[in-house]
Chains A and B, each alone.
Chain A
Amino acid sequence: MEDFLSRLRELEESGSAAIRAASAPDELEQVRVQILGRKARLTQLLRGVRELPQAQRPQAGAEANRVKDSLIALFDQRAAELTQGPEERAPQVDLTLPGRGRWRGARHPCTLVTDEICDIFKELGFVRARGPEAESTWYNFTALNTPLDHPAADEQDTFYLADDIVLRTHTSPVQARVMQEWQPPVRIVVPGLVYRRDPYDASHAPAFEQIEGLAVDEGISFVDFKASISYFVHRFFGEDTATRFRPSFFPFTEPSAEVDVSCLLCHGEGCSACKGTGWLEIMGAGMVDPAVFDNVGYDSERYTGFAFGMGVGRIAMLRYRIPDIRLLYESDVRFLQQFERA
């Protein structure tokens, strides 16, 4: 019985292969005679059913008939295929052709970075704030503890619209505006365009995006500041990115700090991006200077806080390895399209 079934199976396989291989009607007819004809092997096998023991005959017969039917069906199908012209065959869709598309848009790389930064700070309870781009010198300098006759004011070369009206040199004036309007707790991030009198070159533009942050409440300390900034660095640049804080000077923070991260390109080995130091400067920050609180009418004994600011273009350039800041402002569609999937 086993022998019978295995011969049947072998015959089904070889028969199917022979039918599929036939490439012309007369060739197919030869195959038919060999397999299904009067003297063919299948016919002989079917006759052999009778010689099996009585008990095995129904199963063997059924299996043999199934093979016969399937071979006949295959034969008919192949016969139809071989007699039809190519144009009559079932239409074949070539799915390697492209689909019908729509244009894809893209956010500007600075927006991508801004949104991501704001989202991370949102996890820490910060909401977005905004303010005017043309500012009084009071908001841009005085409120932020930067007297105009102090050399610190030279650090930012300023565009003037009138004697006491400037294009804001940083987003920090929004700090003062928000604090004048709201009482603590304050937790804000401020993305926006800022202006400095720097001519265009590979790393400078006279108008560029900045993002600023401010947290004010009772009991906020340098420890909270370090924790929040480190949280951001890890979320934005990756868990294995190292952060270092080093002294700096900004008139509106004290203690002031410059925040460096381990170089994203060389991971601290030293390369041209980090000028061989292994570190990249990413933000200026610090504890809010009490003079700023005094200027906006907050009790500087009761409230403390921290603030930070960074150049969005610079961060975008680091993240996407853009070599020249001017690419951000040229609006070349071949550049902007690269961010459609970002």
Chain B
Amino acid sequence: MNVSYRWLKELGPTIEDSATELAERLTYTAVPVDDVVWLGEGLDELVIGKVLSVDEHPNADKLVICKVDIGGDEPVQVVTGAPVVVEGGFYPYVGAGQTLPGGLLIKKRKMRGEPSEGMLCSERELGIGRDAAGIMQLHGEYEVGQPLLQALELDDYRLDVDVTPNRPDLLGHWGVARELAPGGNADLRLPDFPGQVRCASSIAKVKNEGVTAGVTVRIEDPEGCPRYMGAVIRGVTIGPSPEWLGNRLRAIGQQPISNVVDATNYVLHELNQPLHAFDLATLSGPAVVIRRARKGERLRTLDGKDRVLDPEMLVIADAEVPTAMAGLMGGEATEVTENTRDLFLECAYFDPRRVRRAAKGLALDSDASFRFQRGIDPDGLPRAMQRLIELILTLAGGSLDGDVIDVNPRPSAPGIVTLRPARVGHLLGVELEPGTIKACLEPIGFQVGKDKAGSLEVEVPTWRPDIEREVDLIEEVARRHGYDRFPGAMRTFRPTAVREDEYVESFHRLREVMIGLGFLEAKTTPFVPQGEGDVRLLNPLSEPEDHLRADLLTGLVHRVEHNLARGQRDIRLFELGTAFSAAAGPVPTESIRLAATWTGGRAPAHWLAEANDWDVWDLKWILGTVASLATPGADVRPADPSEHSATLDEALAVIAPDGRTLGRAGRLPAARVDAPPWAGDVWALEVEVTPGRPATVDYRPLPVHPAVERDLALLVEKQMAIAEVGAVIRETGPATLESLWVFDVYEGENLPQGTRSVAWRLRFRAADRTLTDEEVDRALGKITSALQEKLNVAVRGA
């Protein structure tokens, strides 16, 4: 919301602070001010010029030569291409050697042979409006040579106030002035307009329906419209607004349009009351009916759009058809035009929820609906109506016909909220006297009653619909007292009863391990195209990315491609995040995952070492390490050929203790990665994280007797899994077989067809004695014969 500093000071004459001080005060006690803009920026040197004569340019059709009086001894000559320059008109003038707000330096120059000493400016050149088409003719009389800043009241500041949704009262200058005036509400006054016409109107109060000046006004939906005031002004002349009003509106970033429209806009920004003027001649009946729209009714609104209405929407209708969307926007057919003579003025309170629903349904935003949705002051209507009537009479002439009609089926009642000073102290941590509380609340319109048994009855002003409960008042006290006046003293606290989330430890361990392995943590977008996820967004930001990711790996692979495209060959990324899958109900299933993708060298290049790319054995080690951390007890095994064969080569699976598949890993087939020829194989893993503490460590005594090691070279058929061989050795080995591992696998010459040589080392040790060679030989014999028998595996060279 844009606030003019001058306007504020007119409403609150006791305000003496500078614009920046006010901005600071508002920020610290109410709502933030995002910016303070000096409107006269770059306009210091401009003056008012009066065009004395306009003559044709001898050498150019589109140029004219003006003699302009700028208060000097002699008029200056200005050559301009502006389409219309009026003799005797007043214009903003900038002379040679001076600059415009945009930084344009004006130079004395010749235009088609005729010297031009300066320039007459358009609104846009001055930075005060959008109109760039023509130069800005000023309406009314001005003193020639007067600084433009004063003449146009541009010696003003615009405060850009970020009004929070709870403070509808600050959406008008009156409310902001109330907040800032030293004495608050009591200091405010409505200043007279230049040439103010007074009008002693009388108000006719009716419940649901009444007639004024021949116009029937009826509320058929009191819930949607609890109060509606109407007035008829006849004999107006529609025309441009005087300069003071245009200046006012421009100061807050609005464009002047015509006197009647500008008048409604002015009162809106002054008193925060949306208003509307109908061309009375266009209203059939004439009648003004506030009712629900009928199914299928249509209305073309002021923005030129045809709207299809439904009964949820509240409309203003004449005797036949809707003429305006209540609280949103007027209709084109009843709009005030330059030919309008008689006006019907509307000043109403519409239900915030109803306006909001209609605004959402029609995707229609307006200054009026923004305010109605937040809640205006239902008791502020009469004053705003009176202000509007007098302003229109002042600007457009005419006279009020009949009473101002006030249809009010549901009068508002002031809210009473009980406030316990003890509770104020309890919540804010500092005891505040009832007197202090009163001093915080009363200036901004609250009536604080006498202290009765430790509580105060507080009457809430009708412009504060946000104040309904005691805590709302406590916030008012806190902010008016000043947040910075409360100390920040650390006091003792009790430890929390909440147990830490069980994933925290898993995340921590997994991150440590991945980082230790040289991986970089990535965060990728959860939005993916169809095919990469089955949970669809109803309102996606962009069409292709309208689903939630079903896995993390796909996104990470895209990030690998992104890096490859930037010439990076060594890439190691991991991510901890959520994957989504569609479930039976509307809530998708979320699964917490660790995913990683990597490619390139296993280690940074070194002058001693051959370049060496990651391979499947690295994959198996990494997967084994993270799998058991991600889910305690998880096991890694080769994936069944049927599983994942299309998406991963050399695929491994992670199996939970309960047999569920928790993850997968492997090499990405070349077709799945958009990689340049110099890129290495791309490896990937993804595993579900299921929290749980890893198994506790139970100390085992260190061995005291020596171990005996034996090597066993076995001829194993190529189709046979080496793990099977290991299992048989383990089964048939004695209790003293402490460990065994493969230390060499050889395929090639000197071996029987279709076999490979697998060299095992077996380590034996007894806890209570030193093993003898005979004992170990016996055990070895048992193992080799079992291998021969069960697997047909022979000892090499035997």
Q: Do residues B357 and A149 form an inter-chain contact, with CB atoms below 8 A?
A: yes
Rounded to whole angstroms, the CA-CA distance of A127 and B504 in the bound complex is 10
Rounded to whole angstroms, the CA-CA distance of A127 and B541 in the bound complex is 34
Residues in chain B within 8 A of chain A (CB atoms): 27-32, 35, 164-167, 353, 356-357, 373-374, 426-430, 469, 471-472, 474-475, 478-479, 483-484, 486-491, 493-501, 503-504, 511, 514-527, 535-542, 548, 556, 559, 562-563, 566, 568, 570-573, 577-578, 580, 586-588, 590, 603-604, 606-609
Kindly state whether residue A155 has any CB partner on chain B within 8 Å.
Answer: yes
- A-B contacts besides A161-B535, A249-B166, A329-B523, 19 pairs, CB < 8 Å: A104-B518, A108-B522, A125-B493, A125-B496, A134-B580, A178-B498, A195-B526, A206-B541, A226-B483, A226-B488, A245-B484, A247-B28, A247-B30, A248-B32, A275-B35, A331-B524, A331-B556, A331-B562, A333-B571
Kindly state whether residue A271 has any CB partner on chain B within 8 Å.
Answer: no
Rounded to whole angstroms, the CA-CA distance of A185 and B609 in the bound complex is 58
Q: Do residues A100 and B571 form an inter-chain contact, with CB atoms below 8 A?
A: no
Q: Do residues A226 and B486 form an inter-chain contact, with CB atoms below 8 A?
A: yes
Kindly state whether residue A160 has any CB partner on chain B within 8 Å.
Answer: yes
Q: Do residues A332 and B562 form an inter-chain contact, with CB atoms below 8 A?
A: yes
Given A155-B165, A226-B488, A331-B523, A187-B606 contact (CB < 8 Å) = no
Given A222-B486, A247-B31, A162-B519 contact (CB < 8 Å) = no
Give every chain B residue within 8 A of A169 (Cβ-Cβ).
Answer: none
A141-182 interface code vs B (CB 8 A; 1 in, 0 out): 000000001111011000111111101000000000010011
A254-276 interface code vs B (CB 8 A; 1 in, 0 out): 11111000000000000000010
Give every chain B residue within 8 A of A248 (Cβ-Cβ).
Answer: 32, 164
Rounded to whole angstroms, the CA-CA distance of A129 and B499 in the bound complex is 8
A76-115 interface code vs B (CB 8 A; 1 in, 0 out): 0000000000000000000001101111111110110000
Q: Which one of A151, A195, A226, A331 contacts B487 once the chains associate, using CB atoms below 8 Å?
A: A226
Given A105-B518, A110-B523, A222-B486, A185-B475 contact (CB < 8 Å) = no
How far does the Cβ of B62 sit from chain A's closest Cβ, in whole Å? 43
Kindly state whether residue A210 has any CB partner on chain B within 8 Å.
Answer: no
Q: Which one of B430, B521, B586, B590 contacts A133 once the chains associate, using CB atoms below 8 Å?
A: B590
How far does the Cβ of B630 sit from chain A's closest Cβ, in whole Å? 16
Q: Do residues A151 and B515 form an inter-chain contact, with CB atoms below 8 A?
A: no
Rounded to whole angstroms, the CA-CA distance of A143 and B108 in the bound complex is 68
Kindly state whether residue A126 has any CB partner on chain B within 8 Å.
Answer: yes
Give every chain A residue within 8 A of B374 (Cβ-Cβ).
Answer: 151
How far does the Cβ of A207 sit from chain B's closest Cβ, in whole Å? 5
Give every chain B residue within 8 A of A106 (Cβ-Cβ).
Answer: 515, 520-521
Given A159-B537, A161-B537, A217-B494, A150-B165 contact (CB < 8 Å) = yes
Closest A residue to B494 by CB, please name it.
Answer: A185
Rounded to whole angstroms, the CA-CA distance of A254 and B517 in the bound complex is 47
Give every chain A residue within 8 A of B538 (Cβ-Cβ).
Answer: 159-162
Closest B residue to A220 by CB, please name it.
Answer: B493
A221-243 interface code vs B (CB 8 A; 1 in, 0 out): 11110111111000000000000
Given A161-B537, A332-B562, A105-B520 contact (CB < 8 Å) = yes
12 A-B pairs with CB atoms under 8 Å apart are A102-B604, A103-B604, A127-B500, A127-B501, A160-B539, A167-B548, A207-B527, A221-B430, A223-B430, A247-B28, A249-B167, A340-B520
Give every chain B residue within 8 A of A100 (Cβ-Cβ).
Answer: 603, 606, 608-609
Q: Do residues B586 and A165 form an inter-chain contact, with CB atoms below 8 A?
A: yes
How far does the Cβ of A231 sit from chain B's closest Cβ, in whole Å? 6
Q: Do residues B566 and A332 form an inter-chain contact, with CB atoms below 8 A?
A: yes
Kindly state whether residue A193 has any CB partner on chain B within 8 Å.
Answer: yes
Q: Do residues A227 and B491 form an inter-chain contact, with CB atoms below 8 A?
A: yes
Kindly state whether residue A289 has any CB partner on chain B within 8 Å.
Answer: yes
Q: Do residues A125 and B495 form an inter-chain contact, with CB atoms below 8 A?
A: yes
Rounded to whole angstroms, the CA-CA distance of A215 and B495 in the bound complex is 10
Give every chain A residue within 8 A of B540 (Cβ-Cβ).
Answer: 159
Q: Which one of A155, A162, A255 contacts B478 once the chains associate, using CB atoms below 8 Å?
A: A255
Rounded to whole angstroms, the CA-CA distance of A329 and B575 in the bound complex is 11
Given A111-B511, A226-B486, A221-B493 contact (CB < 8 Å) = no
Q: Do residues B604 and A304 form an inter-chain contact, with CB atoms below 8 A?
A: no
Q: Do residues B525 and A257 form an inter-chain contact, with CB atoms below 8 A?
A: no
Q: Do residues B521 and A105 form an inter-chain contact, with CB atoms below 8 A?
A: yes
Given A126-B496, A133-B590, A187-B493, A193-B526 contact (CB < 8 Å) = yes
Give 4 closest A-B pairs by Cβ, nearest first. A103-B518, A221-B429, A223-B429, A105-B515
Residues in chain A within 8 A of chain B (CB atoms): 97-98, 100-108, 110-111, 124-130, 132-134, 136, 149-152, 154-155, 159-165, 167, 178, 181-188, 193, 195, 197, 199, 206-207, 209, 215, 217, 219-224, 226-231, 244-249, 254-258, 275, 287, 289-290, 304, 328-334, 336-337, 340
Give every chain A residue within 8 A of B539 (Cβ-Cβ).
Answer: 159-160, 197
Give every chain B residue within 8 A of A184 (Cβ-Cβ).
Answer: 497
Q: Do residues B603 and A257 form an inter-chain contact, with CB atoms below 8 A?
A: no
Q: Do residues A227 and B475 form an inter-chain contact, with CB atoms below 8 A?
A: no
Closest B residue to A153 by CB, please name it.
Answer: B165
Rounded to whole angstroms, the CA-CA distance of A113 and B683 in the bound complex is 29
Give every chain A residue within 8 A of B30 (Cβ-Cβ).
Answer: 247
Closest B residue to A196 by CB, please name it.
Answer: B541
Q: Do residues A130 and B501 form an inter-chain contact, with CB atoms below 8 A?
A: yes
Rounded to whole angstroms, the CA-CA distance of A220 and B429 in the bound complex is 8
Q: Do residues A328 and B490 form an inter-chain contact, with CB atoms below 8 A?
A: no
Give every chain A residue within 8 A of B542 (Cβ-Cβ).
Answer: 199
Q: Do residues B524 and A188 form an inter-chain contact, with CB atoms below 8 A?
A: no
Q: Which one of B27, B430, B541 contacts A199 once the chains associate, using CB atoms below 8 Å?
A: B541
Q: Do residues A128 and B500 form an inter-chain contact, with CB atoms below 8 A?
A: yes
Rounded to whole angstroms, the CA-CA distance of A257 and B586 in the bound complex is 35
Give every chain B residue within 8 A of A193 (Cβ-Cβ).
Answer: 526, 577-578
Give every chain A residue within 8 A of B474 (Cβ-Cβ).
Answer: 254-255
Q: Do residues B499 and A108 form an inter-chain contact, with CB atoms below 8 A?
A: no
Give every chain B residue within 8 A of A152 (Cβ-Cβ).
Answer: 165-166
Give every chain B residue within 8 A of A197 (Cβ-Cβ).
Answer: 539, 541
Closest A residue to B357 by CB, please name it.
Answer: A149
Rounded to whole angstroms, the CA-CA distance of A164 and B586 in the bound complex is 9
Q: Which one of B430, B493, B526, B604 contacts A215 once the chains associate, using CB atoms below 8 Å?
A: B493
The CB with the most chain B CB atoms within 10 A, among A100, A107, A230, A333, is that of A333
Given A254-B475, A257-B483, A111-B31 contact (CB < 8 Å) = no
Rounded to whole angstroms, the CA-CA distance of A246 and B485 in the bound complex is 11
Q: Which one of A159, A187, A224, A254 contacts B471 once the chains associate, using CB atoms below 8 Å?
A: A254
Rounded to whole angstroms, the CA-CA distance of A133 and B522 in the bound complex is 19
Give every chain B residue within 8 A of A334 (Cβ-Cβ).
Answer: 566, 568
Closest B residue to A253 by CB, please name it.
Answer: B475
Give every chain B residue within 8 A of A221 (Cβ-Cβ).
Answer: 426-430
Give every chain A residue within 8 A of B167 (Cβ-Cβ).
Answer: 249
Give every chain B residue within 8 A of A185 (Cβ-Cβ).
Answer: 493-497
Q: Do residues A227 and B490 form an inter-chain contact, with CB atoms below 8 A?
A: yes
Rounded to whole angstroms, the CA-CA distance of A101 and B556 in the bound complex is 25
Give every chain B residue within 8 A of A108 (Cβ-Cβ).
Answer: 520-523
Rounded to whole angstroms, the CA-CA distance of A308 and B690 in the bound complex is 29
Closest A residue to B578 by CB, please name it.
Answer: A133
Q: Do residues A102 and B487 form an inter-chain contact, with CB atoms below 8 A?
A: no
Q: Do residues A255 and B490 form an inter-chain contact, with CB atoms below 8 A?
A: no
Given A136-B587, A329-B525, A103-B572 contact (CB < 8 Å) = yes
How far does the Cβ of A171 sit from chain B's closest Cβ, in whole Å? 12
Closest A residue to B478 by CB, please name it.
Answer: A255
Given A101-B606, A329-B523, A246-B586 contact (CB < 8 Å) = no
Rounded to whole angstroms, the CA-CA distance of A101 and B536 in the bound complex is 45
Give every chain A residue within 8 A of B501 (Cβ-Cβ).
Answer: 127-130
How far does the Cβ of B516 sit from chain A's closest Cβ, in whole Å? 7
Give every chain B residue within 8 A of A127 (Cβ-Cβ).
Answer: 496, 498-501
Q: Which one of A103, A165, A183 contacts B570 once the chains associate, using CB atoms below 8 Å?
A: A103
Q: Do residues B608 and A290 form an inter-chain contact, with CB atoms below 8 A?
A: no
Q: Do residues B356 and A149 form an inter-chain contact, with CB atoms below 8 A?
A: yes
Q: Do residues B27 and A246 form an inter-chain contact, with CB atoms below 8 A?
A: yes
How far does the Cβ of B750 sit from chain A's closest Cβ, in whole Å? 36
How far does the Cβ of B591 sit from chain A's closest Cβ, in whole Å? 11
Rounded to whole angstroms, the CA-CA distance of A52 and B719 in the bound complex is 95
Q: Do residues A333 and B563 form an inter-chain contact, with CB atoms below 8 A?
A: yes
